[in-house]
Structure 1
Amino acid sequence: MVELTLSGLRVLREVAARGSFTAAAEAMGYTQSSISRQIAALEAAAGGRLFERETRGVRLTEAGRVLLRHGAKVLDQVEAADHELTALRELSTGTLTVGGFPTAMAALLPRALAAFADRHPGVAIALREGTTPAQLRLLRAGTTDLAVIAPSADEPDDPGLVLDRLLRDPLLLAVSRGHPLAATREVDVDDLATHHWIIGKDEAGDPQLDLWRRVAWQPRTRFVVKDWTAKLALVASGLGIALVPGLAAPWIRDDVALIALRMPDRAPVTRDVAMATRTGARELPHVRVMVDLLHYTAAELARELEARLQDRWL
């Protein structure tokens, strides 16, 4: 019994698309007699003619149209499987270059990268830590495959980049355990205008934290420090209050209390955490796997973060 073959279905598709055996043979690099034999074998398997011969070529019969419709689906599935298998082979070597802003490096990226390394130990991983503007520059220069960023609301659209939101990260208020606000569950941002602040270097104009762009006042800055450890130590000593990204909450020291921030309209104060890739880069197998892992890890981390913050506030 003659059976249908993948090579025969490919020939059927090519002849139907080009309208002649000769044109199909030229496109596929076959002889015309080879094309004729393949079609004859398909017709034997199908139990009838697949093409009507005409003066200027051929056209499908009803049986030919039926076989082409089903055959096209089979070929699409086979090609998709081949694409995935090729991707798996390519994931045995190579380098994945990932960037992230500092808080993402402390929480989100390590977990996703650990899962990637566990699944694909043959792929080298290179890390680029830096602010969101720095990460965007690296992406545009083509030196980073993927970056986790905290885009600002006024970030201009860039047709060369694709952004996916991973989670909404709450911005929290950090105060010492002895501070009058320490027992408060949430606070209106406008009630903080008269307090002394410990801010990070350039934080007052930094779009990553973004709070200062949403209020009508600027912080009364007591100290400006670059290092997070120093910032929280000053807060714990009662020398001022500070903003803390929710992603950093699990690593906040015990002598610092966290308080939810609300705008005057009661909306929570949050920032977006997103991943950015160059347009078309997600077709690369390394990047595609990392994109999926970051989505999964971000959802998992958001659930854990909510539970931990509830514990910390109670």
Structure 2
Amino acid sequence: MTLELDPQLDLQSIRIVRAIAESGTITGAARSLGYSQPAVSQHLQRTEARLGLPLVTRVGRSVRLTEAGQVLARHAITITSALDAAAGDLADLAGLRSGTVRLAAFPTASSTIVPRLLGAMASLHPGIQLSYIEAQPPEAVALMREGAIDLAVTFSYPGDRTDPHRDSASGLSIETLFTEEMVVVLPAGHPLAGDPIVDVAGLATERWIAGCPRCRGHLLAVCELAGFDPLIAFETDNASAVLNLVASDIGVAMLPRLALATATLPAGAVIRPHTPPSDRSIHLIASDGARRVPSLAATIALLNTLEGHDWGLTAA
């Protein structure tokens, strides 16, 4: 004969059997579980009826587990210990004592936003492990789609036709952290270097130093508004390299303020606002349910405190 156990064997029954094994009495089990003795007795009777097996036998005023009860008690130790461990882990997550966050961000953020975030996380939430990889916005969105990262810090320019925050990011949560000013970088001896605001149209005959494809596209768009196509003679994503090329009178450039936050301005270069003015927006991309995960919610909250003024973005 094959015994078919009721699949509704519940955790409460398992806890009761373990408590009886530890206390030796139903009264003691009820006391340790915080229930009344009749409630425990009735629950035990219903469990025995479902299983078709007795779990305890009475011996005077105490009870003794039957063979079936001993089997269940033996498994109960493993089951309840695992549940307690799971509850502890969940409490750690909820209390931000543990958790993991996988972050991606663009190169400029590697020397500005990311170090500040890592320092804040280590100070405020030392139990959360934050890993980081560098990726341009399109790659970061793709990594998010693949489930390889949890959060991405990205950027976009107004009017960018290939903006990765459009169709490719559909279904994801996108919020703007801050918007930063774009500036031109000129050799200190340039005729327009003394102007408080430089008219980009006055740089129509200059050689330009361009950056990543998105930054290059933005430069083309601004110059188009100013009425000319720029002569792009050099390309580099390295802001320090751009500054030193400009200081050597190799060309002129357009950079976001964030790229200048950790770079040393050489004596031979100056930074000026320009007209027509332009800017760049810094975004945070996450899944729609990210804020329900305590470690991700904490990271998002910290990123929202790192506003543009923290990076010296208003100084000319």
Give the deviation of 1:273 after TM superposition: 0.8
Unaligned segments of structure 2, at least 5 residues:
1-37, 40-86
> Residue 194 of structure 2: SS of its match in structure 1?
coil
Write the letter of the residue equivalent to 1:135.
A
* 1:211 equivalenced with 2:223 (yes/no): no
Give the deviation of 1:174 after TM superposition: 0.8
Question: What is the TM-score with the length of structure 2 in the denominator?
Answer: 0.63
Write the letter of the residue equivalent to 2:281.
D
- Give me the CA root mean square deviation: 2.6
Matches within 5 A, 1:93-132: 93-132=98-137
Give the aligned partner of residue 306 of structure 2: 297
Give the aligned partner of residue 265 of structure 2: 253
Paired residues of 1:151 and 1:208 also in contact (CA < 8 A): no
* 1:222 equivalenced with 2:230 (yes/no): no
4+ aligned runs moved over 4 Å, structure 1: 87-90
Matches within 5 A, 1:95-244: 95-152=100-157, 153=159, 154=161, 155=163, 156-157=166-167, 158-200=169-211, 203=212, 205-206=213-214, 210-216=218-224, 217-244=228-255
Q: Does the C-alpha gap of structure 1 residues 207 and 86 become closer, same or farther in structure 2, counting only changes over 3 Å?
A: farther
Paired residues of 2:222 and 2:278 also in contact (CA < 8 A): no
Paired residues of 1:188 and 1:261 also in contact (CA < 8 A): yes
Distance 1:136 1:207 in 2: 18
Q: Does the C-alpha gap of structure 1 residues 215 and 124 become closer, same or farther in structure 2, counting only changes over 3 Å?
A: same
Write the letter of the residue equivalent to 2:115.
P
Q: Percent identity?
A: 31
Q: Tell me which structure has the larger Cα radius of gyration.
A: 2
> Residue 163 of structure 1: SS of its match in structure 2?
strand
Distance 1:114 1:208 in 2: 32
Match of 1:288 among 291, 297, 303: 297
> Residue 210 of structure 1: SS of its match in structure 2?
helix
Paired residues of 1:101 and 1:132 also in contact (CA < 8 A): yes
* 1:275 equivalenced with 2:284 (yes/no): yes
Paired residues of 2:181 and 2:313 also in contact (CA < 8 A): no
Write the letter of the residue equivalent to 1:276.
I
Give the deviation of 1:167 after TM superposition: 0.9
> Residue 276 of structure 1: SS of its match in structure 2?
strand
1:54-95 alpha-carbon deviations (Å, 9 max, x no partner): xxxxxxxxxxxxxxxxxxxxxxxxxxxx9xx94754632232
Distance 1:110 1:246 in 2: 17
Matches within 5 A, 1:16-165: 86=91, 89=94, 91-152=96-157, 153=159, 154=161, 155=163, 156-157=166-167, 158-165=169-176
Give the deviation of 1:209 after TM superposition: 6.3
Q: Does the C-alpha gap of structure 1 residues 301 and 208 become closer, same or farther in structure 2, counting only changes over 3 Å?
A: farther
Give the aligned partner of residue 33 of structure 2: none
> Residue 234 of structure 1: SS of its match in structure 2?
helix
Give the deviation of 1:229 after TM superposition: 2.9
Write the letter of the residue equivalent to 2:260.
A
Paired residues of 1:210 and 1:271 also in contact (CA < 8 A): no
Give the deviation of 1:111 after TM superposition: 1.0
Distance 2:92 2:175 in 1: 22
Distance 1:305 1:138 in 2: 29
Q: Does the C-alpha gap of structure 1 residues 149 and 299 become closer, same or farther in structure 2, counting only changes over 3 Å?
A: same
Give the aligned partner of residue 15 of structure 2: none
